[in-house]
Structure 1
Amino acid sequence: MTTHEELFGAAPDGLWAAPGRVNLIGEHTDYNDGFVMPFALPHTARATVTRRADRTLRVHSLGTDGETVEVALDGLAPGGVPGWAAYPAGVAWALAEAGHEIGGADILFDSDVPTGAGLSSSAALEVVTALALSDLNGLGLDPEELARLSQRAENDFVGMPCGILDQMASASCSAGHVLYLDTRGLKRRQVPFAMALEGLRLLVVDTRVKHAHADGAYARRRAECEAGAKALDVPFLRDVPHEDLGRALERVEDPVVRRRVRHVVTENRRVERVIELLDAGLAREIGPVLTEGHASLRDDFEVSCPELDLVVSAAGAAGALGARMTGGGFGGSAIVLVDEAAADAIGAAVTDAFGAAGHRPPRIFEAIPSPGAQRLPL
């Protein structure tokens, strides 16, 4: 494997890591100013970085077959860097736009966060870049600032209109906890989520169907939510009380927008139900809420796919406590809450169901709540 010194001719000044994430509940609520509950995965994007004396950023990824990408920090502009390198370049641009002085750098990336699986591989890449550049340039940025800058890079430089869930999870989650985040103002709380103590496991099932938000489907959902908020004369759908949902839906004429509104308002309530159950020590009882959330994402928000639906139905038939798709949708991954003793059997049942349907086997692994972005020893 190519080393940093072999590639760039100098030893790295430091090593940083930022994780991918799983979202327990709260999907497509972040850009509606709502509630989310992600936690970090043990899978990370890692970056070794060497300072440069000039104003050049050189980036290389061990996960691609491409060559090293070199960009000038002066004159960086949205749309100016193609492919995966737009993410780290976008972070450098966002830092400069925010008034932070940074120098050039050589960065070698490596990652075991599955790409295209709805587990925030792009956010991990952004956040690890932001943290490394912050540390190397003495900026002292806190997790919230790192997340905001990383989101701006993705929104305005890459052109993906995501909310801030993924970046906040990668920047600020804690091991053994799920992050209860109010995306309005970013008020947050680390909630203990020690599933093993209750005899539970949470499985991630990567369907290996690659989602493609670039096709405009994600942007359309966001526009439909904005149309719903406008029809209801509220700043964001988060401002529609769950108890008033029936009356609110009567005021939305477009049937598609009406479904989007119903998902967001009920999903925010599902986040509140999950936090109430976890606070009461009733983690086992969140299973039906997860499954309910999947039905809403499938029917009202229309971001599921046959493979994700198959995970949920096969896992449920095999005795899972609950399951739902996680992430933006259109493919990617699902999560399955199971009794520890039944985990292997349920995983096998899902794999068998994929084989019977003619799909290639899914990738299944346990989701373990892990630390957020951090500097590591070389």
Structure 2
Amino acid sequence: MSPDPSALAAAFGEAYQRAPEGVWHAPGRLNLIGEHTDYNDGFVLPFALDLGVSVAAARRDDGMLHLRSLQAADQGITVPVKGGSLDGWAAYPAGVAWLLHEHGAGGASLLIDSDLPAGAGLSSSAALECATALALCDLYGIEMDRRELALLAQRAENEHVGMPCGIMDQSASLLATDGHALMLDCRSGLTSQVPFAPADSGLTMLVVDTRATHTLTGGEYAQRRAECEEAARLLGVPALRDVKDLAAALAALADPVLRRRVQHVVTENHRVEAVVGLLRAGAVTELGSMLTASHLSLRDQFEISWPEADVAVEEALRAGARGGRMIGGGFGGSAIVLTATERVDEVRAAITGAYAARGWTPPTIFEANPAPGAHRVS
């Protein structure tokens, strides 16, 4: 469940000695399939989680932005709303505020709460950006289409955090709807809602937070993006999404690393389209093999998986799960597993037991169901 808005409002009152003008919530996202396709102008299929980030906020008349988080040890950070430079968690909301200042946003006091595990690959950063964006838009009467707002939040992360992310996370947080996955064409920005209710088919989607630290500003993510851009340049296409003949593209590239990157991106786009077709046909039970194929491609072709994710998927399959894969940018974070509901306990036990046998930190395993996108809660 998302953070309690009444408790957050009370905490805001204690912190700022005044009541907030509202509380806004933005969910994290789970990407069902379509990994590292977004910045290649491809297709993704995320859905919103019922976990996320909530922001209580009120306007200030001094032109300053004051940021506090219930998850941070510091006593808050104050910066001018007209712009500046920050490191750490505060750069995400501050970057959004600085860009919205260009559209009329003024000073504000924000108190942030989250039940979304940071570093788990569930897009806590985008949730923070989107909750902040909604709050400031409402506080200052800024009318902005949600697609535009997603682009602004992405720009904040690119420019003020230094993370060259695509548009998927912010789009999922702002545009997703309850009981659906969001089919997003990352080139055109066009979206469609795809029905996704695993429970109706006797299935459960499990998220396995592997507890392996996940960070995307260390260089590996940027390196993968640069490799994809270089491959597209050598192939003479605007982006890898435009590769139509995979065999010919692979034959044209001398670098085996670039060949592997291309093979993943092209086949992953095909998997997204296949999964959308299965969901629209009501064939949810057939998704498992697509998830597992995605994991193998991310592990072997894109080379971004990590031991804890590989073990989680392998043990889940051994215990009878239908499929699973790592999610997120890679090198840490979470995996997902699709299993018959009646086998959930066996799958949990298999993964937990395998971690214990290796002396790893126990994973956190929870169920995930498509939830509503960002909204005002009070």
Alignment TM-score, normalising by the size of structure 1: 0.96
C-alpha deviation, 1:212, in angstroms: 2.0
Q: Matched residues in 2 for 1:351 and 1:217: separation?
A: 28
Q: Matched residues in 2 for 1:107 and 1:55: separation?
A: 14
Q: Does 1:188 align with 2:191?
A: yes
How many residues align structurally?
370
2:352 aligns with 351
Q: Matched residues in 2 for 1:36 and 1:295: separation?
A: 17
1:84 aligns with 89
1:258 aligns with 259
Structure 1 runs of 4+ off > 3 angstroms?
none
C-alpha deviation, 1:54, in angstroms: 1.8
Q: Is the partner of 2:120 in helix, strand or coil? A: coil
1:209 aligns with 212
Q: Matched residues in 2 for 1:126 and 1:197: separation?
A: 33
Opposite residue 331 of structure 1, the aligned amino acid is G
Q: Matched residues in 1 for 2:73 and 2:22: separation?
A: 24
1:235 aligns with 238
Q: Is the 8 A contact 1:131 1:141 kept in 2?
A: no
C-alpha deviation, 1:142, in angstroms: 2.3
Q: Is the partner of 2:26 in helix, strand or coil? A: strand
Q: Deviations over 1:76-125 (max 9, x none)?
A: 14xx11211101110012223xx301110000000001100000000000
Structure 2: unaligned runs, 5 residues or longer: 1-6
Match of 1:138 among 141, 144, 159: 141
Q: Matched residues in 2 for 1:48 and 1:142: separation?
A: 22
Q: Is the partner of 1:47 in helix, strand or coil? A: strand
2:22 aligns with 14
Q: Matched residues in 2 for 1:67 and 1:240: separation?
A: 50
Opposite residue 343 of structure 1, the aligned amino acid is V
Q: Is the 8 A contact 1:27 1:36 kept in 2?
A: yes
Q: Does 1:41 align with 2:49?
A: yes
Q: Matched residues in 2 for 1:269 and 1:127: separation?
A: 29
Q: Is the partner of 2:171 in helix, strand or coil? A: helix
Match of 1:72 among 80, 91, 96: 80
2:312 aligns with 311
Opposite residue 91 of structure 1, the aligned amino acid is V
2:4 aligns with none
Q: Is the partner of 2:128 in helix, strand or coil? A: helix
Structure 1: unaligned runs, 5 residues or longer: none
Q: Is the partner of 1:15 in helix, strand or coil? A: strand
Q: Matched residues in 1 for 2:340 and 2:149: separation?
A: 36
1:58 aligns with 66
C-alpha deviation, 1:253, in angstroms: 1.3
Q: Matched residues in 1 for 2:11 and 2:111: separation?
A: 8
Q: Is the partner of 2:241 in helix, strand or coil? A: helix
Identity of aligned residues (%): 57
Q: Matched residues in 2 for 1:343 and 1:142: separation?
A: 40
Kindly report which structure 2 residues correspond to 1:281-360, keeping only aligned pairs within 5 A, or say none: 281-360=282-361
Q: Matched residues in 1 for 2:48 and 2:11: separation?
A: 27
C-alpha deviation, 1:351, in angstroms: 0.5
1:93 aligns with 98
Q: Deviations over 1:219-261 (max 9, x none)?
A: 00000000010011000000012xx100111111111111101
Q: Is the 8 A contact 1:27 1:327 kept in 2?
A: yes
Opposite residue 16 of structure 1, the aligned amino acid is W
User: What's the Cα RMSD here?
Assistant: 1.0
C-alpha deviation, 1:141, in angstroms: 1.9
After the TM superposition, which of the residue ranges 306-315 and 134-143 deviates more from structure 2?
Answer: 134-143
Q: Is the partner of 1:352 in helix, strand or coil? A: helix
Q: Deviations over 1:263-316 (max 9, x none)?
A: 000000000110111111111101001000000000010110000000110001
Q: Matched residues in 2 for 1:304 and 1:115: separation?
A: 18
Q: Matched residues in 2 for 1:27 and 1:271: separation?
A: 9
Q: Is the partner of 1:257 in helix, strand or coil? A: helix
Q: Matched residues in 2 for 1:59 and 1:38: separation?
A: 29
Q: Matched residues in 1 for 2:14 and 2:189: separation?
A: 41
Q: Matched residues in 2 for 1:101 and 1:262: separation?
A: 45
Q: Is the partner of 1:84 in helix, strand or coil? A: coil
C-alpha deviation, 1:368, in angstroms: 1.0
C-alpha deviation, 1:357, in angstroms: 1.5
Q: Matched residues in 2 for 1:374 and 1:73: separation?
A: 23
2:130 aligns with 127
Q: Is the partner of 1:147 in helix, strand or coil? A: helix
Alignment TM-score, normalising by the size of structure 2: 0.96
Q: Deviations over 1:354-378 (max 9, x none)?
A: 111111110000011001100002x
Q: Matched residues in 2 for 1:272 and 1:137: separation?
A: 40
